[in-house]
Amino acid sequence: MVTATDECLFCAITERSAHVVMSDETAVAFLDIRPVFKGHVLVVPRLHVETLTDLPADLVGPFFTRVRRAAGAVQEGLGAAGTFVAMNNRISQSVPHLHVHVVPRNRKDGLRGFFWPRTKYASAEEAEDYAARIRAALDRAA
């Protein structure tokens, strides 16, 4: 098992990420730098694996428990009506490290099908504000 690699962007982020919202021995969740909507979080396992089928069976439950917590915190912390939770395995996977997208959703927000338009944060401060709101929701749920 490989816990991190020097070549993997997400492994590097788990070690020194900006805008981390959750971090423990199993997973790290952080803001996507090209969010579909502001507050879009990526949840990655600390163990370096490329796809869901590479994740050891004994880590599937603990990892998805973190995804579930992140989904609840994104919804509550941002006042979203719901979330979109998605994962790609190799095809359309921009970084070869397992990651789950947790995207805040609201009715009539414009997201349709599998076309994921991307946006940007106006500043690092704006991104940190979103991260802080999600972290606060995680703290309240703990």
With a cut of 50, say whether residue 55 has pLDDT above it.
yes
Superfamily of structural domain 9-141: HIT-like (3.30.428.10)
- Tell me, what DSSP letter sits at residue 115? B
Model pLDDT, residue 5:
60
Q: Is 99 a catalytic residue?
A: yes
**pLDDT tens profile 69-102:** 999 999 999 999 999 999 988 777 677 788 999 9
The DSSP H or E segment spanning 65 is helix 57-78
Q: Which of 40, 48, 97, 99 is catalytic?
A: 99
DSSP codes joined into one string, 26-52: SEEEEE-SS-SSTT-EEEEESS--SSG
pLDDT (0 to 100) of residue 111 = 81
Q: What is the mean pLDDT of residues 107-125?
A: 83
Q: What is the pTM of this model?
A: 0.82
| Residue extents of the structural domains in the chain | 9-141
pLDDT of residue 1: 47
